[in-house]
């Protein structure tokens, strides 16, 4: 790994700052909802990370894509700035193998995993982000192949406790003609609390045909009842962007795309002494218009519309024998497309998981199983078990093993173009995943390390035997992945008592090169082989400084280093991205922007 003088200086400064006087802090116990089973964070024996609203506010990120890129083991391969388009990966694998949720509602897209991040919300609406790595299919069902990410929205409230409040959340300007505006209004009455939000992000683009407009409309209303609030959430995201080289060949410079993502959901929580039940009903719609030549749609144009309606019931039952988690969800998905045709699928998924403790509550075990039925793909079952052992109040060991799966998207099954064809005979990808972990937690220091292994089969790729053949979706065979991760978070205080933190994370991943016995592969794996992330957050009165350094080396031996920083004073901020002006690409040879800046006003309610 080659680091220039500026990077070495940056890491040295981080270390020196971290040696300041410490102050004890109290760790809050969070009930992690991403597992769908109500267990405190300390009693979950998986690799789970939580990004809190405080961490979000202090980070150098301006959108969820940039924020997630600051987590070890997560690879977001962006095309351009402001999270306009990107693919989400956890611990390697493919972009169809990670499940995204918003308040527990699954945002998987039946058309393609390229749309996973289309429903991303503004950062100020997020209470926390729960990241679960490893096999998650036994809890969440299909497509949580390598893990799942649950975005938990904030409860409705106002800073001034007024019945009505209107807030200018953000007004900022930056390089490439960036203009960002965010507005929200809140209404709080005795039996109803509501927030409505609007954000728009736009830019002229950092190179030819990379301009964009990203709009998001969001509302959340809580109806207060005698038992539990009933939450109604709606969101609509609309994106229009030039897609220079984003898909197919980098030489396809005139591509253009418009996407829509809609969500309407209602949920509540019913509690008794021994039982928690979470009913949820939601509708998700996606629309994707792709044009190969922006100024001439008649040459090649695709229009896809997907709809998903899902009813879910999950819960936890507490007895002297432990905690039993259970869930049942029924969903129907349909697609209408001028390329993929018209198709529909009904899915039924059931899971049960029981957590019990032994040896004076030092040993915990959670065996469970999920059973899924797809109207076009028959039955599948996925067992697993989590085991954890508390050596003492600060140290715990854990391990888990489970089966997981990913069903083919409609693009995999039915796509057709002059260069590519789908395959109606594809079968689901499957894998057996294991991990072993160690955690050490105190009020000042959090340290964890994990080794993991994933043995997958029936992996889907687009391959061909001869150069002039069409790319065809194919179950190409097996793929074994191994790796390890380590994370360190050190919390300290300045002499004046202001909280600060320093973190360091590293991961190493190795994939079998299944392409070696295939003549041509369109999606040959290019996972992050070596991943280093270092973050520093400093606070003094109304001034805060955050910086993050990222080093990436991929399987194809390409590597790059990126340094981002944010200075925040009162309500004003300056973000500088790619300070080192690194030349690099994250996917499909799409060059990422050089050094760029964003200045503006940001109002946060935590």
Place 450 in a pLDDT band, splitting at 50, 70 and 90: very high
The contacts of residue 379 (CB under 8 Å, 6+ apart) are: 371, 372, 373
Nearest-angstrom CA–CA distance, 77 and 509 = 16
Provide mean pLDDT across the span 173-190.
Answer: 94
Provide mean pLDDT across the span 104-119.
Answer: 92
Question: Looking at the chain, how many residues does it have?
Answer: 606
Q: Is 69 left (phi over 0), alpha (psi -120 to 50) or beta?
A: alpha
Provide mean pLDDT across the span 47-71.
Answer: 91
**For residue 380, is pLDDT > 60?**
yes
The contacts of residue 606 (CB under 8 Å, 6+ apart) are: 53, 54, 57
What structural domains and CATH numbers belong to the chain?
5-602 (2.40.170.20)
The sign of the CA dihedral 121, 122, 128, 134 is positive
Among 17-31, 79-93, 300-314, 413-427, top mean pLDDT goes to 300-314
pTM of the complete model: 0.91
DSSP tag of 389 = E
Dihedral Cα 471, 472, 474, 476, nearest 10 deg: -20
Least Cα distance to 86 among 62, 60, 115, 112 occurs for 115
- DSSP per position, 539-583: EETTEEEEEEEEEEEETTS-EEEEEEEEEEETTEEEEEE-TT---
Q: What is the pLDDT of residue 31?
A: 59
The contacts of residue 579 (CB under 8 Å, 6+ apart) are: 563, 564, 565, 595
Nearest-angstrom CA–CA distance, 395 and 281 = 39
**Contact (Cβ atoms closer than 8 angstroms) between residue 222 and residue 155:** yes
How many CA atoms, within 13 angstroms, populate the side-chain half-sphere of residue 371? 4
Provide mean pLDDT across the span 334-358.
Answer: 94
Provide mean pLDDT across the span 97-111.
Answer: 92
pLDDT in tens, 121-132: 999 999 999 998
**CA geometry: angle 160, 121, 163, nearest 5 deg:** 20
- DSSP per position, 64-100: HHHHHTTSTTEEEEESSSTTSSEEEEESSS-TTSEEE
Nearest-angstrom CA–CA distance, 438 and 64 = 28
**For residue 38, is pLDDT > 70?**
no
**Contact (Cβ atoms closer than 8 angstroms) between residue 247 and residue 86:** no
DSSP-assigned beta bridge partners for residue 363? 358, 389
Instruction: Compute and round to an integer the Cα radius of gyration of the chain.
Output: 23
Place 37 in a pLDDT band, splitting at 50, 70 and 90: low
Nearest-angstrom CA–CA distance, 284 and 47 = 29
pLDDT in tens, 530-582: 999 999 999 998 899 999 999 999 988 999 999 999 999 989 999 999 999 99
Place 41 in a pLDDT band, splitting at 50, 70 and 90: low
**For residue 400, is pLDDT > 60?**
yes
Place 605 in a pLDDT band, splitting at 50, 70 and 90: low
Q: What is the pLDDT of residue 417?
A: 87
């Amino acid at each position: 790994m080659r680091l220039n003088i500026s990077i070495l200086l940056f890491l040295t400064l981080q270390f020196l700052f971290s040696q300041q006087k410490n102050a004890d802090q109290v760790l809050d116990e969070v009930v992690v909802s991403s597992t769908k089973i109500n267990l405190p964070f300390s009693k979950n024996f998986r690799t789970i990370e939580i990004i809190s609203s405080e961490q979000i506010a202090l980070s150098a990120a301006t959108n969820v894509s940039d924020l997630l890129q600051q987590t070890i083991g997560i690879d977001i391969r962006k095309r351009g700035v402001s999270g306009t388009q990107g693919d989400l990966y956890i611990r390697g694998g493919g972009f169809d193998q990670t499940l995204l949720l918003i308040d527990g509602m699954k945002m998987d897209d039946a058309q393609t995993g390229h749309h996973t991040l289309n429903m991303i919300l503004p950062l100020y609406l997020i209470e926390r982000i729960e990241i679960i790595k490893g096999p998650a299919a036994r809890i969440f069902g299909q497509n949580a192949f390598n893990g799942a990410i649950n975005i938990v929205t904030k409860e409705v409230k106002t800073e001034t406790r007024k019945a009505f409040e209107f807030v200018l959340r953000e007004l900022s300007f930056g390089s490439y003609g960036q203009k960002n505006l965010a507005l929200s209004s809140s209404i709080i009455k005795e039996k109803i609390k509501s927030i409505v939000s609007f954000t728009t992000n736009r830019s002229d683009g950092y190179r030819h045909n990379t301009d964009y407009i990203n709009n998001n409309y969001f509302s959340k209303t809580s109806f207060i009842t005698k038992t539990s609030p009933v939450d109604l959430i709606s969101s609509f995201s609309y994106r229009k962007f030039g897609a220079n080289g984003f898909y197919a060949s980098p030489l396809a410079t005139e591509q253009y795309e418009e996407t829509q993502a809609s969500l309407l959901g209602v949920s509540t929580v019913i509690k008794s002494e021994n039982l928690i039940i979470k009913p949820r009903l939601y509708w998700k719609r996606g629309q994707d218009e792709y044009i190969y030549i922006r100024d001439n749609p008649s040459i090649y144009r695709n229009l896809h519309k997907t709809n998903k309606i899902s009813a879910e019931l999950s819960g936890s039952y507490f007895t002297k024998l432990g905690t039993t988690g259970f869930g049942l969800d029924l969903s129907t998905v349909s697609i209408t497309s001028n390329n993929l045709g018209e198709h529909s699928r009904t899915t039924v998924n059931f899971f049960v998981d029981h957590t019990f403790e032994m040896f004076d509550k030092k040993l915990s075990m959670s065996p469970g199983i999920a059973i899924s039925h797809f109207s076009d793909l028959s039955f599948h079952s996925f067992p697993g078990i989590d085991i954890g052992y508390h050596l003492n109040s600060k140290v715990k060991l854990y391990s888990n093993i489970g089966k997981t799966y990913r069903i083919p998207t409609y693009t995999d099954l039915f796509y057709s173009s002059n260069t590519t064809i789908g395959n109606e005979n594809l079968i689901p990808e499957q894998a057996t995943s294991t991990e072993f972990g160690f955690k050490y937690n105190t009020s000042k220091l959090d340290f964890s390390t994990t080794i993991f292994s994933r043995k997958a089969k029936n992996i889907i790729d687009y391959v061909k035997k001869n150069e002039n053949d069409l790319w065809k979706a194919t179950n190409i065979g097996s793929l074994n992945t191994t790796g390890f991760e380590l994370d360190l978070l050190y919390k300290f205080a300045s002499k004046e008592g202001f909280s600060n933190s320093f973190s360091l994370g590293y991961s190493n991943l190795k994939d079998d090169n299944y392409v070696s016995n295939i003549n041509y592969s369109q999606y040959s794996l290019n996972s992050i082989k070596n991943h280093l992330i270092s973050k520093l957050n400093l606070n003094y009165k109304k001034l805060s400084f955050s910086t993050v350094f990222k080093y990436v080396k991929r399987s194809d031996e390409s590597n790059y280093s990126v340094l981002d920083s944010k200075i925040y004073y009162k309500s004003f901020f300056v973000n500088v991205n790619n300070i080192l002006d690194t030349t690099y690409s994250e996917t499909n040879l799409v060059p990422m922007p050089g050094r760029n800046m964003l200045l503006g006003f940001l109002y946060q309610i935590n």
